[in-house]
Amino acid sequence: MHLKRLSVYFVLLATPLAFQAPFLASASSGTTLVISVDHLDTPNQQFVDGRAWAYTDFFSRKVSVHQGDILDFNFALPGHLISVAPDEAAARAALPLFGTDADDGTAPGSGAAPIDLAPTALAAFAAPPAGGCGTAPASVCHFNGTFDPTMLGPQGSGPDWFVQIDASPGTYHYLCFVHPGMTGTLEVVAGAQPSTTQAQVNASGHAQFISDRAQATDAEAAANVPSFTGGAPGTRTYTSYVGLNAAKNHVAMFEMLPAHLNLVQGDSVRFVWQFVEAHSVTLPRTNDSPQLFFPDCGPPDQFFGQPPGSPIPICGDDPSQPEIVLDVGSSPPGTALTAVGTQLDSGILIGAGYNVPGTVQSWSVSTNGSTAPTASNPYTYHCVIHDWMNASIDVSTH
């Protein structure tokens, strides 16, 4: 994996960690509930062979607590940035992950505005939470019922993030800013009312996991069967998923599906991005892939082709708000395959769940009579962020 080329955000998305088991806090006389963020599923999390799954889910998605109780968010895998808020939509709007760079033309790959990492997201991932709260039982964060954009987890060295709930009785939410749709409901109840026990959290979380995994398994199998529109070979448009979401977006599958396609000259492939995650389609699969990020120092095509690992200077239209533009791609939709080894790049596109105006969720390649047929040397492609995500295409003349 090209980890040395990744920002903090993409390191979190791409790198599995061996976390310690959760432990209970003792900083408060209240009850501590351990809520798993993501879920271990070793057979589906090898980060090799073209596939890896992340459970973009909280286990459990709903708990009831009393004032003074502590939530111990235990990260089964990294790649999440979470908080507690009274209004999920308002919190997401206050801390967007992506934006568009509308002042520098269009991206060569997508034909739409280039995508950048929002300044608020850059600051959130780069800086520790205020006072370092939540990284240990003795230094819990305190949620008083209002959203604090600096109170984010995890930013410490351990797998747990601790939040004491001081809010008045009512309904609140815990959420992940990296993954739209990853949310849970927090009910603060009066002292006389029963609260959720750890046994109930564990049972509910286990049931969620079994359901999530079963739905993801079915979705993966279905997406791995080639599907197309059109009639005879040579007139078809095949669909390929660049990452796949399942179980109402509670599972993100980091894989290209189908893993292999057989085309006839004249066929096309439409690559589709779904609800969450950021991915690219880059041909061929090689270690010499495009640069992932560019500073906003000029037109996006100025930076295409920079060597991997090139330093990214801090610059932008507003020096106080530096902009980091994602790989803008080099190949417009519909570009024809010519010869194995010729580089094509969609650029990095994002899923529809991020609600960023002006973005697109598809890109395509075509074939024609000039497309070199393959034998034992197929066209290979991968995602430049998650380079275990790979697949291949064979092309024949008939």
**Domain 226-396 CATH (choose: 2.60.40.420, 1.10.510.10, 3.90.1150.10, 2.60.40.60):** 2.60.40.420
pLDDT of residue 331: 95
Nearest 5°: phi and psi at 99? Answer: -145, -175
pLDDT of residue 4: 29
Cβ pair 57, 75 in contact under 8 A: no
Any idea which residue has 């459970």 for tokens? 55
pLDDT of residue 133: 87
**Cα–Cα distance, 74 to 105 (Å, whole number):** 42
Start-end of CATH 2.60.40.420 domains in the chain: 3-95+126-217, 226-396
Cβ pair 300, 108 in contact under 8 A: yes
pLDDT of residue 45: 93
Residues lower than pLDDT 70 in the chain: 1-29, 122-131, 155-157, 287-291, 293-322
Sign, Cα dihedral of 125, 19, 277, 331: positive
pLDDT of residue 387: 86
Sign, Cα dihedral of 112, 118, 286, 51: negative
pLDDT of residue 317: 52
Nearest 5°: phi and psi at 308? Answer: -55, 140
Report which of 117, 98, 107 is spatially closest to residue 329, judged by C-alpha positions.
107
Cβ pair 183, 58 in contact under 8 A: yes
Rounded alpha-carbon distances, angstroms, from residue 306 to 212, 329, 341, 348, 388:
40, 12, 18, 15, 22
Cβ pair 68, 164 in contact under 8 A: yes
What does the radius of gyration of the chain's CA atoms come to, in whole angstroms?
A: 22
Cβ pair 345, 283 in contact under 8 A: yes
Residues 6+ apart with CB under 8 A from 272: 239, 240, 241, 242, 361, 362
Nearest 5°: phi and psi at 261? Answer: -130, 145
Fold of the CATH domain 3-95+126-217: Immunoglobulin-like (2.60.40)
**Cα–Cα distance, 255 to 241 (Å, whole number):** 8
Burial classification of residue 296, based on how many CB atoms lie within 10 Å of its CB (0-12 exposed, 13-18 middle, 19 or more buried):
buried
Report which of 74, 36, 41, 43 is spatially closest to residue 57, judged by C-alpha positions.
36
Burial classification of residue 349, based on how many CB atoms lie within 10 Å of its CB (0-12 exposed, 13-18 middle, 19 or more buried):
buried
pTM beyond 0.95: the answer is no
Report how far Cα 247 is from the mean position of its chain's Cα atoms: 16
**Cα–Cα distance, 196 to 205 (Å, whole number):** 12
